[in-house]
Amino acid sequence: MQDIICTFCGSVCDDGEYDLEKRKVKKFCKLGSSKFAEKERIKAPMIDGKEVSYEEAIEKAVEILVNAKKPLLYGWASTANEAIRVGVILAEKLGGVYDQCASVCHAPGTLAMIEEGLPGATLGSVKNRADVVIFWGSNPMEAHPRHGTRYSISAKGLLVKDRKQRKIIVVDVRPTKTAKIADMFVQIKPGYDYAIISALRAIISGNADVVPNEVGGVPKEKLVELAEIMKKAKYGAIFYGLGVTQSRGRDRNIENAIKLVQLLNRTTRWVIWPMRGHYNVVGAGEVPAWEVGYQYAIDFSRGYARFSPAEFSAVEVLLRKDCDAALIVASDPVAHFPKMAVKHLKQIPVIQIDPFPNMTTLIAKVVIPSAVYGIEAEGTVYRMDCVPLRVKKILETNYWTDEKILEEILKRVEKLRG
Amino acid sequence: MLWIKNGIVVDPKNKINAEKMDIFVKNGKIVAESDVKKEDCKIIDASGKLVVAGGVDMHAHIAGSKINTGRTMRPEEMRVVRNIAGKFRATLGRVLLTAPAIGYEYAKMGYTTSFEAAQPPIGALHTHEELDSIPMIDKGALPVFGNWHLVFKCIEEKNLEKLKALVAWAIERTKGFGVKVVNPGGVEAWMYGGNVKSLDDQVPGFNVTPREIITWLIRANEELGLPHSVHLHCNNLGVPGNYQTTIESIKLANGFRNPKRQVLHVTHVQFNAYAGSSWRDAASGAAEIAKVVNSMDNVTIDMGAAIFGHATAMTGDAPFQFSLHKLIGARWSNKDTEVETGAGIVPIGYLPSNPVHSLQWAIGLELGLLVDSNKVVLTTDYPNGGPFTEYPYVMAMLMSKKMREGELKKVHQYVQKTTTLPSIDTEKTLYEVIHMTRSLPAKVLGLENKGHLGVGADADIAIYNLNPLETDFSNEFEKVYKSFKTAEYTIKGGEIITKNGELVKEVFGKTFWVDARKKVDLEVIMPDIKEYFNYYSVQLGNYGVEERWLKNPSRLEVV
Amino acid sequence: MLIIKPKKEFEVCIEAELTPELAMKSVEEVRKFKVYYGNRVVELGELFEVVKEGEDKKLVLDGDFGRVKWIGTRMIDGEIVVKGNVGANCGAFMRGGRIVVEGNADDWLGIEMAGGEIIVKGNARNLVGCAYYGNAVGMTGGKIVIEGNAGNYIGEKMNGGEIVIKGNAGDFVGTEMRAGVIEIHGSCGFVGGDMRGGEIRIKGNFDLLPTFRKTEKGWVGDVNVKGEGVIKTF
């Protein structure tokens, strides 16, 4: 089967080939291929570790959710839009909290967008036009292995024909794999992205004289050099990652970078975009935005959406013990959340919907296994640049899709709630 | 089955002007009296009430990536609560609205069809996901062609057959409805940091001009016989002095003829009707434009009226959006899209104390008043000019000079010398205003079963608590405004969906799309498309929307 | 004066927009005041003991109110004393009156404060006297005093009023500030990013941004916005 779409990272490569006989996918990177390889699955729905039917597990889940004063519905980044939409409507109906994985990775980008907007482009624009690409706090060679060949480093574009016509710059706190293949590497002191970006803005807008000899571990001359490259670019792109969103400065780092890009657009063309991690974390934010107005950290206790990351991000909700039940869909908070947050998660009834067992499965009271989107189920996902792609069903399965499970839950909740 | 009794019907398509008439509905369609069993009918007593077709919004930004980016950027817009979750969905939004809110608010107002005005082709599936999440209304989307490299190539080669095949292919792939053109050539120029300033500027990297882009697309559109005409957002939007570009663009329709409808629809003309040379001496060019439009019989426009209050500028005109950001210092989002198009979003507002905003407000109204009523559709280019929920304000203003006089006292006096609005005595009739909001937009789009109440029409009906035979539209403008804000009944496909502004039933409408593939030989363009897909970031096999992915598609085949 | 005491440990947070106005009502009315307990609307009396002592326009919140949010929202006069910690959004949109928190405060203290006084004897968390998500202007008047430490985002988009932090603060003190005064007695991180006006006084260490000019007044900037804000030590 041709044109297979990968459901691992935010690159969502769509040029895969699936060999139905060998049951293997070709052309994808190691990360993508691992997604398509045979893996351990949750065999059947379970309540308290005992196998039950889908219907029984769903009934129990509904009972838990409807009796909760504040259920947390979290995850969503590794499932399709069709399921996410039902999840959002379910959270609204339950009067609970909807939050998604971005709250622990790229939410700062959303906060920055609220402050300044987002001057961006699709990956195809970068592929065709960008003669300068900066990876800031991002290491695609490890986290998004084919991003470079498909879109940003050696991709063959219309105006920028190949690697030689592109200048690749890495700004990071240590020499990464990507830094090693870059044309220029700027090593910065951890925690000083914000100051360095302010310095670049000052240099570019003609106030270089105010900037001291060294900012954030970078000598002024290097900053001036970087500023010159940026000014001379015909079309530049900054791709940023968790290096800046999850380190000191967070949303203000991105906001500052956006202001830098605004400034550059007065004399040349620049765009900036986040290197999203999960294959549909963008969908996990876009779907609630059109359904209820916001991308994450949404509370429905009052019967309508309220947005407050400081209060309603899953970690914040758990740290304040502000939830008494949780529905975790396509995610593993037990593995990734801070200890104190996980502590509360262990004390409340947890329902998990996921194809694969993980650390969260171990503490879940109700476990409902689902089909894998992109292999066993068709669905719509949004690539890191919000380009929509329809992942395919390649193999048959008896597992229910996330969408079907959530619809059955929603149906029963609507019946109880009226 | 429905029997709407004793209503006072205004149905311009069928030349009914405030006649007491019964309307019969069966299986979602308007039928003759002889086709229903009166005993089985649900009766709505519309005595003394105005009965019209459901409103048709032919140009609004209601679904897709730029609308969602607008929402995400503006939590302050989303904090207004309209409906608390219960039997129906919670809805939020001030001027920007969530998808459920869009559906409910149109319905409460008596509008039953709305078209997304600009769909980026590669993002078509996102547009359709959002359209599918909007309840109540029927919808469609217009993919954009004016900056697509593939379009430029066909025109460079002067190959009309290729262009026709491309258009048919693209509309099918995007499940779109027609040919939208936004700042032709200008968005490609923006990829280099520039814009185009005249119809004869060369588009960077290509041997084409905006004039050629528009003219060739009109040719292709007309030979294909698509239901809708080319729908044009002119070059130089928002630039003082641009009314001349608009007039030049309008004149490109010369020589084309279509018996059913216009050959060119120019959109949100208010933003393209400025005289003067800068914002310091900007004035209205509406009268000049109106003269030209009135003298032609193959061009229509829509107003793009500005309403005082909050708004969000969101268009595919990326360079304009950047200039707006620079001009007012507001937040700015941008999305260069593959080799197809671009988009930009900037939060804005219109204040009556601001001379420029007042000028814009006046120009929108001038266009509505000066242009013949069979050539101008009522819109606010939602959300660029303002909320669609204020269409009733525009309707009342068009019908009442007294209301306009009152409003003119509240706005900046700059409009006195720079527009003709204070001196316009015209009061459009109810018949005309219903035409401008129902039958004309349906005709412009080519939707035969919308915008009227004749037998065979879709049973999309609005009943207002307003007796046209006893209302003094010139003086009772407050009452007129209030009546049109909230329909007494809104009926969609024969079902009552709202009553007195309260939601009665949630339904989901159809998504219209046009299939013109039988009119072309796709093989003529496929080699070019395959070659060009080297420069896309997705596979050709993964490009486009399949009909079965849409909730309720309605295919209009062109033969 | 009303004395309000939690009856039990709460399973989830409570949202209770309690203001001194409540002290003007009878105890029965106060007990019926609606609060949010997760997604349940309940009466204040179900979760709290209410006692009235005298006619002062004063609330004494006696106990751990650390998971009770929105205390003092939009208050215009009177006094609230919290004998313990207080939850998020305390003193939101406050226009007058006085709030004293004897314990610690949570995030979003004094959102867009326009007048009055907030005193926190313990520590505050993030977002002190800031503009709410997507809003253009933050604090415009009044005074916030934190005896202990505070977190990140202090007085962002401030356009008037005063914030005093006796301990340390984190990053983003006075970002995009236009007027007003922020005083940090301890140390803090990034200060005055994109500041246009106003004054920030710091006693301890801080991270000066590379966009401020040294003058006799202190450091003036942020040059990136042609700002004339002043940062000085004391």
Rounded Cα gap, residues B448 and B227, in angstroms = 9
User: Contact A125/B325, CB-based, under 8 Å?
Assistant: no
Rounded Cα gap, residues B485 and B248, in angstroms = 37
Domain presence at residue B425: yes
- Does residue B102 contact residue B139 with C-beta atoms inside 8 Å? no
Rounded Cα gap, residues B304 and C233, in angstroms = 54
Enumerate chain B positions whose Cβ falls within 8 A of a Cβ in C. Answer: 73-77
DSSP secondary structure of B380-430: -TTTTS--GGGHHHHHHHHH-HHHHHHHHHHS-THHHHH-SGGG------H
Rounded Cα gap, residues A56 and A366, in angstroms = 10
* Record: fold of A40-105+279-417: Rossmann fold (3.40.50)
Asked if the model's pLDDT at residue B325 lies above 90, the reply is: yes
User: Contact B539/A3, CB-based, under 8 Å?
Assistant: yes
Q: Which chain C residues are Cβ-neighbours of A259 within 8 angstroms?
A: 194, 224
Asked if the model's pLDDT at residue B368 lies above 90, the reply is: yes
- Helix H, strand E, coil C: the string for B435-479 is HHHHHHHHHHHCCCCCCCCCCCCECCEEEECCCCCCCCCCCCHHH
Domain ranges of chain A: 40-105+279-417, 107-274
What would the pLDDT profile of A96-143 be if each residue is shown by its tens digit?
999 999 999 999 999 999 999 999 999 999 999 999 999 999 999 999
The residue type found at A183 is: D
Mean model confidence pLDDT for chain C: 97
pLDDT at B494: 97
DSSP secondary structure of B311-359: EEEEES-HHHHHHHHHHH----EEEEBTTTB--EEEEEEE-TTSHHHHH
Tokens 């006649």 sit at which residue?
Answer: B19
What average pLDDT does this structure show over B4-13? Answer: 98
Q: CB neighbours of A408 closer than 8 A, spacing ≥ 6?
A: A54, A55, A58
Domain presence at residue B148: yes
Q: Closest residue of A to C132, CA-based?
A: A308
Asked if the model's pLDDT at residue C73 lies above 80, the reply is: yes
Q: Which of C89, C69, C73 is nearest to C20 (CA)?
A: C73
Superfamily of domain A107-274: Dimethylsulfoxide Reductase, domain 2 (3.40.228.10)
Q: Which chain C residues are Cβ-neighbours of A207 within 8 angstroms?
A: 211, 223-224
CA dihedral B277, B281, B284, B287 (to 10 degrees): -70
3-state SS, residue B277: coil
CATH of the domain at B66: 3.20.20
pLDDT at A204: 98
pLDDT at C189: 98
User: Contact A307/C12, CB-based, under 8 Å?
Assistant: no
What average pLDDT does this structure show over B521-544? Answer: 97
What average pLDDT does this structure show over B9-15? Answer: 98
What distance in Å separates residue B216's CA from the closest CA in chain A?
24
Dump strand ranges (E) for B144-256: 180-182, 230-233
B49 φ, ψ (degrees, to nearest 5):
-115, 155
Q: What is the largest CA-CA distance in chain C?
A: 61
Asked if the model's pLDDT at residue A417 lies above 90, the reply is: no
What would the pLDDT profile of B26-48 be if each residue is shown by its tens digit?
999 999 999 999 999 999 999 99
What distance in Å separates residue B334's CA from the closest CA in chain A?
4
Rounded Cα gap, residues A389 and B130, in angstroms = 15
Asked if the model's pLDDT at residue C49 lies above 90, the reply is: yes
Q: Which residues pair with C79 in a beta bridge?
A: C58, C98
Q: Which residues pair with B230 in a beta bridge?
A: B264
- Does residue B402 contact residue B477 with C-beta atoms inside 8 Å? yes
Asked if the model's pLDDT at residue A253 lies above 90, the reply is: yes
Q: For residue A406, what pLDDT band results from cuts at 50, 70 and 90?
A: very high
CB interface of B with A, residues 288-317, below 8 Å: none
- Structural domains counted in chain B: 1
Rounded Cα gap, residues A221 and A231, in angstroms = 15
What would the pLDDT profile of A15-39 be if each residue is shown by its tens digit?
999 999 988 999 999 999 999 998 8
Asked if the model's pLDDT at residue B252 lies above 90, the reply is: yes
Q: CB neighbours of A209 closer than 8 A, spacing ≥ 6?
A: none
Q: Which of A140, A185, A183 is nearest to A164 (CA)?
A: A183
Distance from the Cα of residue B275 to its chain's centroid = 24
Report yes or no: A230 at the C interface, CB cutoff 8 Å.
Answer: no
What would the pLDDT profile of B416-439 be if each residue is shown by its tens digit?
999 999 999 999 999 999 999 999
User: Contact C212/A210, CB-based, under 8 Å?
Assistant: yes
DSSP secondary structure of C134-191: T-S----S-EEEESS---S-BSTT-EEEEEEESS---S-BSTT--EEEEEESS--SBB
Q: Closest residue of A to B339, CA-based?
A: A125
| Helix A220-232 and helix A193-204, axial crossing angle in degrees, nearest 10 | 60
Tokens 């002007």 sit at which residue?
Answer: B17
What distance in Å separates residue B321's CA from the closest CA in chain A?
11
Domain presence at residue B190: yes
Q: For residue A318, what pLDDT band results from cuts at 50, 70 and 90?
A: very high
- Does residue B52 contact residue B462 with C-beta atoms inside 8 Å? yes
Q: Report the relative pairing of strands A46-47 and A366-369 from DSSP bridges.
A: antiparallel
pLDDT at A285: 98
What average pLDDT does this structure show over A328-334? Answer: 97
Rounded Cα gap, residues A238 and C205, in angstroms = 32
- Does residue B140 contact residue B78 with C-beta atoms inside 8 Å? no
What would the pLDDT profile of B260-295 be if each residue is shown by its tens digit?
999 999 999 999 999 999 999 999 999 999 999 999
Q: Closest residue of B to A417, CA-based?
A: B86
DSSP code at position A398: S
3-state SS, residue C211: coil
Q: For residue C201, what pLDDT band results from cuts at 50, 70 and 90?
A: very high
Q: Which chain C residues are Cβ-neighbours of A311 within 8 angstroms?
A: 69, 88-89, 107-108
pLDDT at A261: 98
User: Contact B336/A3, CB-based, under 8 Å?
Assistant: no
Give how far Cα C70 sits from Cα of A99, A140, A242, C92, C143, Å: 21, 43, 32, 7, 18
Domain presence at residue B383: yes
pLDDT at A38: 84
Asked if the model's pLDDT at residue A418 lies above 80, the reply is: no
pLDDT at C214: 96
Q: Closest residue of C to A196, CA-based?
A: C210
Asked if the model's pLDDT at residue A6 lies above 90, the reply is: yes
DSSP secondary structure of B537-554: SS-GGG-S--GGGSSSEE
Q: Both tokens of residue C181?
A: 């005064």
What average pLDDT does this structure show over A258-269? Answer: 98
Q: Which of B535, A253, B452, A284 is nearest to C172 (CA)?
A: A253
Distance from the Cα of residue A253 to its chain's centroid = 18
Q: Both tokens of residue B149?
A: 């490299």
Domain range enclosing B70: 54-445
Instruction: Please give the helix or strand (H or E) that residue A111 lies within, else none.
Output: helix A107-116
What average pLDDT does this structure show over B379-391? Answer: 98
Domain presence at residue B26: no
Mutation site for C-interface testing, chosen from B71, B72, B79, B345 by largest number of C Cβ within 10 Å: B79
Dump strand ranges (E) for A118-212: 119-121, 132-136, 167-172, 184-187
